[in-house]
Amino acid sequence: MKNTAISSCLGVVAVAALASVSPSETQAQATAASAAGAARSVYVRPSDAEIKRRLTKIQYSVTQRDDTELPFRNVYNDNKAAGIYVDIVSGEPLFSSLDKYDSGTGWPSFTRPLEKANIKTTTDRKLGYVRVEVRSRHADSHLGHLFDDGPRPTGLRYCMNSAALRFIPVAKLEAEGYGRYLALFKSVKQAK
């Protein structure tokens, strides 16, 4: 099952992604993610020159060329911290750690989007069969793919590329302009 899920998610792998991801590239990805800037109330796609300037090679390849990063060798697959994931290009809120789970595929997977309005799906036939591609609505970044083999309650698996995302921990939500999501994490804390 895991091998099928991995090959389903893998799709077209960027040549740049086939090389081992070094700790310095992971650090560069985190640095580029931080440089992406704070959240905006209006999410827009920057110019291609600005996107190229801000992103690492793998981030650009994934978000702009629809490539896929290597499984298990990406920054957010094993991230268990509480917070939200936003589009690396525009900052639009996409997913919450509250909906993240270990799918065993090697990519961060979520049962549902945080803001459904910031997600769009398209038909992907690049591998010779039909898949559902997930893109961000405002930046039109390639994020990953959607599958119907996820856990309850949705039965969905949003299989995303870490390179398309920027993680914002709960402690930084307010400072980064995403304070409206703090209540989600407070209600979970109170329920425990």
Pairing of strands 131-136, 109-110: unpaired
Contact 178, 168 (CB under 8 A): yes
Contact 43, 159 (CB under 8 A): no
Q: Which helix (H) or strand (E) holds 65?
A: helix 57-65
Which token pair is 97?
A: 């750690």
Residue 80 in 3-state DSSP?
coil
Active site residue 159: yes
Residues in the chain: 192
Q: One of 5, 9, 94, 159 is an active-site residue; which one?
A: 159
DSSP-derived letter for residue 38 is: S
CB atoms within 10 A of CB 38: 11
Catalytic residues: 159
